[in-house]
Structure 1
Amino acid sequence: MLAQLAWRNLLRHRRRSLITIAAVAIGVATLTFLWAFIDGINAQMVDNSTRYFTGDAHLHARGYQDDPGPERVMEDAGPVLDVARLDPAVVAATPRLEGTALASSGEKARGVRLVGVDPATEAAVSDLDETVVDGAALAAG
């Protein structure tokens, strides 16, 4: 009975019903597009971060995640890198030394991220050398 009454009301006010249906359809289509757009942006951010900065995996000294200070570095990362490179799933591995600092000039100051790399092995891990517009990428030696 209630469904029959609702259906009769929809047919009686066709113009109002069509406007409402169109508004809902446009809203759903817009929301779907925006969700897909945001998912694409997130996927691109993760890809860029992985390709240019972090890589797919990090190996840190014990306790670094709890207290990420400059004193928590791996003293000799060579053997750890050698073991990682033996894994067939690892395409490339390189050591990095990362830190943060405060750069200031006059009255302005900005936080900066410092990344020390090994130029001989860095090109196998990141695409940063492809972003050089003028000059040359960092080279070993």
Structure 2
Amino acid sequence: MIKFTESEIDFLKSIEEARIATSKNNIPHVKPVSFIFYENTIIVATDYNTKSFQNIKTNPHTSIVMDRYVPGSHKAVCIQGQVKIIESGVKFIEFYKIFYEKFQWVRNDPWKENEAPFLQIIPKHHTSWGLS
């Protein structure tokens, strides 16, 4: 299991936007997403009709970067890993409660099990910079 430093964990808990990269047929796709850092994994909410979700279904390998760019003080964590799709059950409910509490957009447009999935990124490698 990948271990994160305390400064990496603090950073990941302090921001809520990331960019996720997926690929299908060797064609990369990158988009911004909301995320949570939870139990040493990254959780992303998505929809069934997104290109990212379609890519993940055929290629579960992904990369995600969480960063804050300030000239001369760039901070980032970049993770490569494998995705588990969570559509229902105990984990779905657990993730949904956290997203509901954290993000206004979830409270404005709620969904139920099997209406939109979560992507749970299991880190296999990571790197960071600007974090001591």
Q: Normalised by the size of structure 1, how large is the TM-score?
A: 0.23
Q: TM-score, normalised by structure 2?
A: 0.24
Larger relative strand fraction: 2
**Which one scores higher on RCO, CA 8 angstroms, separation ≥ 6?**
2
| Larger Rg computed on CA atoms | 1
Structure with greater helix percent: 1
